[in-house]
Chains A and B, each alone.
Chain A
Amino acid sequence: NAGVTQTPKFQVLKTGQSMTLQCAQDMNHNSMYWYRQDPGMGLRLIYYSASEGTTDKGEVPNGYNVSRLNKREFSLRLESAAPSQTSVYFCASNIEEVDTGELFFGEGSRLTVL
Protein backbone atom coordinates (compact mmCIF):
# COMPACT_ATOMS: atom_id res chain seq x y z
CA ASN A 1 0.00 0.00 0.00
CA ALA A 2 2.85 2.42 -0.72
CA GLY A 3 0.92 4.60 -3.21
CA VAL A 4 3.09 7.60 -4.09
CA THR A 5 6.48 7.78 -2.41
CA GLN A 6 8.67 10.88 -2.38
CA THR A 7 12.23 11.25 -1.22
CA PRO A 8 13.71 13.07 0.55
CA LYS A 9 11.09 14.42 2.94
CA PHE A 10 13.30 17.29 4.10
CA GLN A 11 16.28 18.98 2.48
CA VAL A 12 18.28 22.13 3.10
CA LEU A 13 20.35 23.51 0.25
CA LYS A 14 22.60 26.47 -0.27
CA THR A 15 21.96 28.82 -3.15
CA GLY A 16 23.44 27.39 -6.32
CA GLN A 17 23.45 23.76 -5.22
CA SER A 18 21.61 21.14 -7.20
CA MET A 19 19.40 18.32 -6.10
CA THR A 20 16.83 15.85 -7.36
CA LEU A 21 13.52 14.99 -5.77
CA GLN A 22 12.49 11.43 -6.45
CA CYS A 23 8.96 10.18 -6.86
CA ALA A 24 7.66 6.67 -7.45
CA GLN A 25 4.15 5.27 -7.65
CA ASP A 26 3.12 1.65 -7.55
CA MET A 27 -0.44 2.02 -8.85
CA ASN A 28 0.36 1.63 -12.56
CA HIS A 29 -0.83 5.18 -13.26
CA ASN A 30 0.04 6.78 -16.56
CA SER A 31 0.07 10.40 -15.47
CA MET A 32 2.38 11.95 -12.89
CA TYR A 33 2.73 15.51 -11.64
CA TRP A 34 4.95 17.80 -9.60
CA TYR A 35 3.32 20.62 -7.64
CA ARG A 36 4.76 23.17 -5.27
CA GLN A 37 2.87 24.62 -2.33
CA ASP A 38 3.59 28.07 -1.00
CA PRO A 39 1.73 30.03 1.67
CA GLY A 40 -1.20 31.90 0.18
CA MET A 41 -0.59 30.43 -3.26
CA GLY A 42 -2.18 27.02 -3.04
CA LEU A 43 -0.67 24.29 -5.16
CA ARG A 44 0.87 25.24 -8.46
CA LEU A 45 1.81 22.79 -11.18
CA ILE A 46 5.49 22.70 -12.10
CA TYR A 47 5.65 19.88 -14.65
CA TYR A 48 3.58 16.89 -15.56
CA SER A 49 3.93 13.71 -17.54
CA ALA A 50 0.83 12.36 -19.21
CA SER A 51 2.55 9.11 -20.08
CA GLU A 52 5.92 7.42 -20.01
CA GLY A 53 8.33 9.26 -22.27
CA THR A 54 6.45 12.57 -22.32
CA THR A 55 6.74 15.65 -20.13
CA ASP A 56 5.11 19.08 -20.31
CA LYS A 57 5.47 22.37 -18.53
CA GLY A 58 2.93 23.48 -16.01
CA GLU A 59 2.30 26.89 -14.52
CA VAL A 60 5.72 27.49 -12.89
CA PRO A 61 8.42 25.44 -14.70
CA ASN A 62 11.32 27.91 -14.60
CA GLY A 63 14.33 26.64 -12.68
CA TYR A 64 13.24 23.01 -12.81
CA ASN A 65 13.76 19.98 -15.00
CA VAL A 66 12.00 16.64 -14.91
CA SER A 67 12.61 13.11 -16.06
CA ARG A 68 10.02 10.40 -16.52
CA LEU A 69 12.43 7.54 -16.03
CA ASN A 70 9.82 4.84 -16.53
CA LYS A 71 6.14 4.40 -15.81
CA ARG A 72 6.72 4.32 -12.06
CA GLU A 73 9.20 7.14 -11.54
CA PHE A 74 9.10 10.89 -12.14
CA SER A 75 11.95 13.00 -10.80
CA LEU A 76 12.25 16.76 -10.34
CA ARG A 77 15.65 18.40 -10.56
CA LEU A 78 16.80 21.80 -9.38
CA GLU A 79 20.02 22.56 -11.25
CA SER A 80 20.94 25.72 -9.36
CA ALA A 81 18.73 26.23 -6.35
CA ALA A 82 17.47 29.70 -5.45
CA PRO A 83 15.79 30.94 -2.25
CA SER A 84 12.59 31.43 -4.27
CA GLN A 85 12.44 27.66 -4.63
CA THR A 86 11.97 27.20 -0.91
CA SER A 87 8.68 25.36 -0.82
CA VAL A 88 6.89 22.12 -0.14
CA TYR A 89 6.89 19.89 -3.19
CA PHE A 90 4.23 17.30 -3.89
CA CYS A 91 4.34 14.52 -6.40
CA ALA A 92 1.04 13.08 -7.58
CA SER A 93 -0.25 10.46 -9.95
CA ASN A 94 -3.56 10.07 -11.65
CA ILE A 95 -6.00 7.23 -11.50
CA GLU A 96 -6.48 5.54 -14.85
CA GLU A 97 -10.07 6.42 -15.72
CA VAL A 98 -10.33 9.71 -17.58
CA ASP A 99 -13.54 10.86 -16.00
CA THR A 100 -12.41 10.70 -12.42
CA GLY A 101 -9.29 12.81 -12.38
CA GLU A 102 -8.55 12.05 -8.76
CA LEU A 103 -4.93 12.67 -7.92
CA PHE A 104 -3.05 10.57 -5.42
CA PHE A 105 -0.42 12.61 -3.62
CA GLY A 106 2.82 11.78 -1.92
CA GLU A 107 3.52 13.09 1.56
CA GLY A 108 5.47 16.08 0.35
CA SER A 109 9.11 17.17 0.41
CA ARG A 110 10.01 20.29 2.33
CA LEU A 111 12.90 22.12 0.67
CA THR A 112 14.70 25.10 2.14
CA VAL A 113 17.20 27.06 0.07
CA LEU A 114 19.46 29.35 2.07
Chain B
Amino acid sequence: AQKVTQAQTEISVVEKEDVTLDCVYETRDTTYYLFWYKQPPSGELVFLIRRNSFDEQNEISGRYSWNFQKSTSSFNFTITASQVVDSAVYFCALRESNFGNEKLTFGTGTRLTIIP
Protein backbone atom coordinates (compact mmCIF):
# COMPACT_ATOMS: atom_id res chain seq x y z
CA ALA B 1 0.00 0.00 0.00
CA GLN B 2 1.15 3.49 -0.69
CA LYS B 3 2.08 5.82 2.12
CA VAL B 4 3.36 9.37 2.49
CA THR B 5 5.16 10.57 5.59
CA GLN B 6 5.70 14.19 6.51
CA ALA B 7 7.55 13.93 9.79
CA GLN B 8 7.66 17.68 10.42
CA THR B 9 4.34 18.65 11.95
CA GLU B 10 5.13 22.33 12.40
CA ILE B 11 8.03 24.56 11.39
CA SER B 12 8.61 28.21 12.21
CA VAL B 13 11.30 30.31 10.60
CA VAL B 14 12.08 34.00 10.49
CA GLU B 15 11.29 35.77 7.27
CA LYS B 16 14.02 35.54 4.60
CA GLU B 17 15.38 32.29 5.98
CA ASP B 18 15.41 29.21 3.80
CA VAL B 19 13.29 26.25 4.86
CA THR B 20 12.99 22.66 3.67
CA LEU B 21 9.89 20.54 4.06
CA ASP B 22 10.51 16.81 4.05
CA CYS B 23 8.43 14.15 2.33
CA VAL B 24 9.12 10.42 2.32
CA TYR B 25 6.95 8.01 0.40
CA GLU B 26 6.38 4.29 0.06
CA THR B 27 5.07 2.52 -2.99
CA ARG B 28 5.49 -0.80 -4.75
CA ASP B 29 4.83 0.70 -8.16
CA THR B 30 7.69 1.59 -10.46
CA THR B 31 5.55 4.29 -12.06
CA TYR B 32 4.06 6.86 -9.76
CA TYR B 33 3.51 10.57 -9.34
CA LEU B 34 4.36 12.90 -6.50
CA PHE B 35 2.70 16.19 -5.71
CA TRP B 36 2.91 19.13 -3.38
CA TYR B 37 -0.16 21.16 -2.44
CA LYS B 38 -0.35 24.34 -0.41
CA GLN B 39 -3.22 25.18 1.94
CA PRO B 40 -3.08 28.83 3.02
CA PRO B 41 -5.07 30.10 6.01
CA SER B 42 -8.05 30.73 3.74
CA GLY B 43 -8.41 26.94 3.46
CA GLU B 44 -8.33 26.16 -0.23
CA LEU B 45 -5.85 23.64 -1.62
CA VAL B 46 -3.50 24.93 -4.27
CA PHE B 47 -1.52 22.66 -6.57
CA LEU B 48 2.21 23.46 -6.60
CA ILE B 49 3.99 20.73 -8.51
CA ARG B 50 3.75 17.24 -9.99
CA ARG B 51 6.72 14.97 -10.60
CA ASN B 52 6.63 11.53 -12.20
CA SER B 53 8.88 8.70 -11.12
CA PHE B 54 10.88 8.73 -14.35
CA ASP B 55 12.05 12.28 -13.92
CA GLU B 56 14.51 12.81 -11.09
CA GLN B 57 15.57 16.23 -12.24
CA ASN B 58 15.25 18.84 -9.57
CA GLU B 59 12.86 21.63 -10.34
CA ILE B 60 13.03 25.30 -9.49
CA SER B 61 10.19 27.76 -9.74
CA GLY B 62 11.11 31.17 -8.41
CA ARG B 63 11.81 30.79 -4.70
CA TYR B 64 10.51 27.23 -4.68
CA SER B 65 12.58 24.16 -5.47
CA TRP B 66 11.99 20.46 -5.24
CA ASN B 67 14.49 17.66 -4.74
CA PHE B 68 13.33 14.21 -5.86
CA GLN B 69 15.54 11.28 -4.88
CA LYS B 70 14.30 7.80 -5.68
CA SER B 71 17.21 6.22 -3.80
CA THR B 72 15.85 7.60 -0.52
CA SER B 73 12.16 7.74 -1.59
CA SER B 74 12.06 11.43 -0.82
CA PHE B 75 10.55 14.47 -2.49
CA ASN B 76 11.60 17.47 -0.44
CA PHE B 77 10.44 21.03 -0.93
CA THR B 78 12.63 24.07 -0.25
CA ILE B 79 11.51 27.66 0.00
CA THR B 80 14.34 30.15 -0.41
CA ALA B 81 14.17 33.58 1.20
CA SER B 82 10.83 32.81 2.85
CA GLN B 83 8.06 35.37 3.01
CA VAL B 84 5.07 35.78 5.29
CA VAL B 85 2.80 34.77 2.40
CA ASP B 86 4.44 31.36 2.46
CA SER B 87 2.78 30.63 5.79
CA ALA B 88 0.48 27.69 5.12
CA VAL B 89 0.05 23.98 5.55
CA TYR B 90 1.91 22.05 2.88
CA PHE B 91 0.88 18.57 1.81
CA CYS B 92 2.90 16.03 -0.08
CA ALA B 93 0.89 13.42 -2.00
CA LEU B 94 1.44 10.26 -4.01
CA ARG B 95 -0.51 8.67 -6.83
CA GLU B 96 0.23 5.24 -8.18
CA SER B 97 -0.07 4.51 -11.86
CA ASN B 98 -3.34 2.59 -12.04
CA PHE B 99 -5.11 3.82 -15.12
CA GLY B 100 -8.48 5.34 -14.31
CA ASN B 101 -7.70 5.44 -10.61
CA GLU B 102 -6.22 8.83 -10.01
CA LYS B 103 -6.83 9.10 -6.29
CA LEU B 104 -4.09 10.67 -4.22
CA THR B 105 -2.69 9.56 -0.89
CA PHE B 106 -1.75 12.58 1.19
CA GLY B 107 0.74 13.04 3.97
CA THR B 108 -0.43 14.59 7.22
CA GLY B 109 0.93 17.99 6.26
CA THR B 110 3.51 20.42 7.61
CA ARG B 111 2.35 23.72 9.05
CA LEU B 112 4.85 26.40 8.10
CA THR B 113 4.83 29.71 9.92
CA ILE B 114 6.99 32.56 8.67
CA ILE B 115 7.72 35.06 11.42
CA PRO B 116 8.02 38.66 10.24
Question: Which residues of A pack against B, CB within 8 Å?
Answer: 31, 33, 35, 40-45, 48, 50-51, 58, 88, 90, 92, 94, 98-105, 107-108
| Residues of chain B within 8 A of A98, CB atoms compared | 99-100, 102
A44's nearest neighbour on chain B, judged by CB, is B106
**B44 and A103 contact, CB distance less than 8 A:** no
| Residues of chain B within 8 A of A101, CB atoms compared | 33, 35, 50, 95, 102, 104
**A43 and B102 contact, CB distance less than 8 A:** no
| Residues of chain B within 8 A of A108, CB atoms compared | 43-44
Question: Which residues of B pack against A, CB within 8 Å?
Answer: 6, 9, 33, 35, 43-45, 47, 50, 52, 91, 95, 99-109
> Which of B9, B52, B103, B108 is in CB contact (< 8 Å) with A45?
B103
**B104 and A42 contact, CB distance less than 8 A:** no
**B108 and A42 contact, CB distance less than 8 A:** yes
**B contact face: mostly helix, strand, loop, or mixed:** loop
**B103 and A33 contact, CB distance less than 8 A:** yes
B44's nearest neighbour on chain A, judged by CB, is A107
Distance (whole angstroms) from the CB of B4 to the closest CB of chain A: 8
> Which of B33, B91, B99 is in CB contact (< 8 Å) with A43?
B91
| Residues of chain B within 8 A of A104, CB atoms compared | 47
Distance (whole angstroms) from the CB of A113 to the closest CB of chain B: 19
